[in-house]
């Protein structure tokens, strides 16, 4: 008897719940975007994380350098340019005294440049086909 009651309750609530209709892209309002189509990173939109940032015992140091953080053109599928974050193996270069990170990398954020509470964020991200 209990199984039937639970099944009926779940079934009735399932009928009452209607899925939300997908909102058409034309009905949404774009409030912020970056197509990375300038020669350099737009520092008014992005903050670059530096060597003092370190969490989770990461084996990389974040630096603000073109070798690890740059805008590139001509990528297939990219409208305009693309942001490239590339880790580079550089043992012994980490300037932070409390860690020994053998990799340098770039990291950016929009904190204090653009924040939102509700809405949807979209990104097109291409990852290398590699293990690691």
Q: Give pLDDT tens digits for 86-126.
A: 999 999 888 787 788 899 999 999 999 988 888 888 888 88
CA-CA distance, 129 to 127, in Å (whole number)?
6
Identify the pLDDT of residue 26: 66
* Domain extent listing, the chain: 32-109
CA-CA distance, 110 to 79, in Å (whole number)?
21
Identify the pLDDT of residue 12: 39
CB atoms inside a 10 Å sphere around CB 20: 6
Residue 69 pLDDT grade (very low, low, confident, very high; cuts 50, 70, 90)? very high
Enter the tokens of residue 76.
Answer: 């297939």
């Amino acid at each position: 008897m209990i199984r039937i009651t639970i099944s009926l309750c779940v079934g009735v609530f399932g009928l009452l719940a209607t899925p939300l209709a997908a909102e058409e892209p034309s009905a949404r309002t774009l409030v912020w975007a970056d197509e990375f189509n300038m020669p350099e990173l737009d520092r008014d939109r992005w903050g670059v994380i530096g060597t003092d940032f370190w969490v989770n015992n990461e084996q990389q140091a974040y630096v603000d350098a073109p070798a690890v953080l740059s805008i590139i053109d001509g990528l297939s599928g990219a409208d305009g340019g693309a942001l490239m974050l590339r880790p580079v193996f550089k043992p012994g270069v980490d300037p932070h005294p409390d860690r020994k990170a053998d990799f340098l990398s770039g990291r950016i954020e929009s904190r204090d440049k653009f924040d939102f509470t509700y809405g949807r964020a979209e990104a097109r991200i291409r990852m290398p086909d590699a293990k690691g």
